[in-house]
Amino acid sequence: MTTSGSSTPDLKSAQKSKSKKDYSIYFQPPSLKEAKKRGKEEVTVHYNFSIPEDMEGIGRGKRYLVRTYGCQMNEHDSETISGILEQMGYAPAKDETEADIILFNTCAIRENAEDKVFGELGHMKRMKYNNPNLILGVCGCMSQEESVVNKILKSYQHVDLIFGTHNIHRLPHLLRDALFSKEMVVEVWSKEGDIIENMPKLREGSIKAWVNIMYGCDKFCTYCIVPYTRGKERSRRPDDVIAEVRELARQGFKEITLLGQNVNAYGKDFEDITYGFGDLLDDLRKIDIPRIRFTTSHPRDFDDHLIEVLAKGGNLVEQIHLPVQSGSTEVLKKMARKYSREHYLELVRKIKAAIPHAALTTDIIVGFPGETEEQFEETLSLVEEVGYDSAYTFIYSPREGTPAAVMEDNVPHEVKKQRLQRLMDLQNRISLEKNLALQGEVVELLVEGESKTNPDVLSGRTRTGKLVHFAGDKSLIGQFVHVRITEAKTWTLHGEIVTKVGV
Ligand code: SAH
Ligand code: SF4
Ligand code: F3S
């Protein structure tokens, strides 16, 4: 697709209602085909983000709302979007009725995620009718898909602005156009290799923080849309990551989570230095921040050096999210995961030997095209053998433009639903067993806040990421405490306070 977009029928019909001129400033729709390409261009790191002079203070007296639908990466992008809007003078809105700008930061990973966004975009029509000055924007992974942009152009013309995951830093420029031209502004970059370093971030809370260590994904698992929506793998320079973590420690944050679609591939794109994820963790563990987590690690690049560094413990907590997707080597092959059941189980053995108290969690897809009952049972047996503390389980959802979407699928949806239920039943049993084993034990918690359901109860997480509720004074929020586990359930634990930890 060219930037004019005039060759696609959907765009043509959309253009009927808006003059060509309306698109002359920013009309750059996405292309999955372009997004698939992986070039050899060098990654440029930019340190010169700033708000254009004429947009400084443009939001004074106005309010914004960012609604986030995706993964941690998306949540963190929303923090950047909020940071940029606040630098322009906007203040947060309590709800959509008082907002002057509403941005939907979307997720494309499964069909139901997309359906939800379209449903809510539909509801916004009335909002826009009541307040014609409202700016309604769509960003995030769905914006990177041409089918989505075509659908919005055609059926959701009350949207004012569409931008993608690679040009968040362009928000002030795009917003300027959306505000002053009052026509739909579309700018989505499909192929992008740059890193923008110094964008402002409005972090949610002051206890835990996300830190991006890399962007994009080059793995191209056959079911997955992410390599198309997030571009090629590119790592932030170690000095930039280390400086950000040091600054967060100085500000008093207690826990950071390093983010990447495949953190174990960190540094593989550096041409001038040999420095991988294990090296980064080895440097970060020396920083005075109490807890460091990371997500997500791909089993294929999980090397011995990384295990060795993780085994040093300290602020590197013993929780490892290691998505397996399937327990069948044949299915893994069709998924292009590039490891076998045996390789995965061997990796788990190594991790357990080096880090005995590690909690392992995972992601699993059931009902991949053509998955047989035997292959599904191999997933069940792997889950039993590994003994995960918890698992995110999904029914396979075809994503347009990915190889698996055109694979023959003879598994009825009803069977897929039954498999998901069988898998969840098994995992719930194992999660409960794991939690019951903690009864009577004393664990260290980082107190995160009041329990969502009962303000008299506080909630915190163990180093292994388990949620524990206990009665305690609110002054403990943000502190470390020792708690004895008194009751174990499938998803939560209850405890009583033993001591406050002097961290
Ligand atoms: N980068 C991470 C995964 C990010 S997406 C990794 O490789 O581990 C999070 C999870 O969504 C995946 O692990 C997978 O289990 C699930 N997922 C991705 N695409 C999917 C699809 N098309 N249908 C169903 N589940 C999917
Ligand atoms: Fe998707 Fe695979 Fe990349 Fe994870 S590693 S984001 S599942 S393509
Ligand atoms: Fe969704 Fe994009 Fe994250 S597709 S899971 S928001 S990377």
Res 501: pLDDT = 65
Per-residue pLDDT tens over the stretch 291-306: 999 999 999 989 999 9
* Arithmetic mean of pLDDT, 488-503: 85
Length of the chain measured in residues: 503
- What are 412's two structure tokens? 């009825």
**CATH fold of 11-187, please?**
Rossmann fold (3.40.50)
CB-CB neighbours of 93 under 10 Å = 17
Burial 336-369 (b: 16+ CB within 10 A, else e): ebebebebbeebbeebeeebeebbbbbebbbbbb
Res 452: pLDDT = 82
Ligand sitting nearest the alpha carbon of 70: 3
Of ligand 1's listed atoms, the one at least distance from the Cα of 321 is 8
* Arithmetic mean of pLDDT, 417-438: 98
Give yes or no for residue 316 having a pLDDT over 50. Answer: yes
- What are 389's two structure tokens? 């503390």
Distances (CA, A) of 432 to 1, 214, 358, 486: 51, 34, 17, 14
Cα gap 189→344, rounded to integer Å: 36
Query: What's the pLDDT band for 111 if we cut at 50, 70, 90?
Result: very high
Ligand sitting nearest the alpha carbon of 113: 3
Q: What percent of the chain has pLDDT over 70?
A: 94
Cβ 167 vs Cβ 194: under 8 Å: no
The residue contributing the CA closest to ligand 1 atom 14 is 363
* Arithmetic mean of pLDDT, 172-185: 89
Taking alpha carbons only, the member of 295, 150, 169, 145 closest to residue 229 is 145
Pairing status of strand 91-92 against strand 63-68 = parallel
Give yes or no for residue 143 having a pLDDT over 70. Answer: yes
The residue contributing the CA closest to ligand 2 atom 1 is 224
pTM: 0.93
- Please indicate whether residue 142, judged by its CB atom, sits closer than 6 Å to ligand 3: no
Please choose from 221, 338, 392 the residue to mutate so as to test ligand 2's pocket, defined by most ligand atoms within 8 A of CB: 221
Per-residue pLDDT tens over the stretch 248-288: 999 999 999 999 999 999 999 999 999 999 999 999 999 99
Structural class in CATH, domain 442-502: mainly beta
Strand order in 255-259's β-sheet?
208-212, 255-259, 291-295
Q: Dihedrals φ, ψ of 142, to 5°?
A: -65, -35
- What are 147's two structure tokens? 């089918």
Give yes or no for residue 27 having a pLDDT over 90. Answer: no
Res 218: pLDDT = 94
Res 182: pLDDT = 67
Lowest mean pLDDT among 180-184, 258-262, 320-324: 180-184
Cα gap 314→211, rounded to integer Å: 19
Average pLDDT, whole number, for the chain? 92
Helix axes of 373-386 and 341-354: crossing angle, nearest 10 degrees = 10
Ligand sitting nearest the alpha carbon of 220: 2
**C-alpha of residue 99 to centroid of ligand 3, in Å:** 25
Give yes or no for residue 4 having a pLDDT over 70. Answer: no
Structural class in CATH, domain 208-436: alpha beta
Higher pLDDT, 104 or 20: 104
Cα gap 142→188, rounded to integer Å: 11
Cα gap 396→407, rounded to integer Å: 12
Kindly report the three-state secondary structure assignment for every residue of 228-287. Answer: HHCCCCEECCHHHHHHHHHHHHHCCCCEEEEECCCHHHCCCCCCCCCCCHHHHHHHHCCC
Per-residue pLDDT tens over the stretch 158-175: 999 999 999 999 999 999
DSSP 475: G
Higher pLDDT, 41 or 216: 216
Q: Where are the domains of the chain?
A: 11-187, 208-436, 442-502
Q: Dihedrals φ, ψ of 154, to 5°?
A: -85, -45
Give yes or no for residue 325 having a pLDDT over 50. Answer: yes
- Please indicate whether residue 62, judged by its CB atom, sits closer than 6 Å to ligand 2: no
Of ligand 3's listed atoms, the one at least distance from the Cα of 105 is 6
- Please indicate whether residue 363, judged by its CB atom, sits closer than 6 Å to ligand 1: yes
209 CB-near residues (< 8 Å, 6+ apart): 203, 248, 253, 255, 256, 257
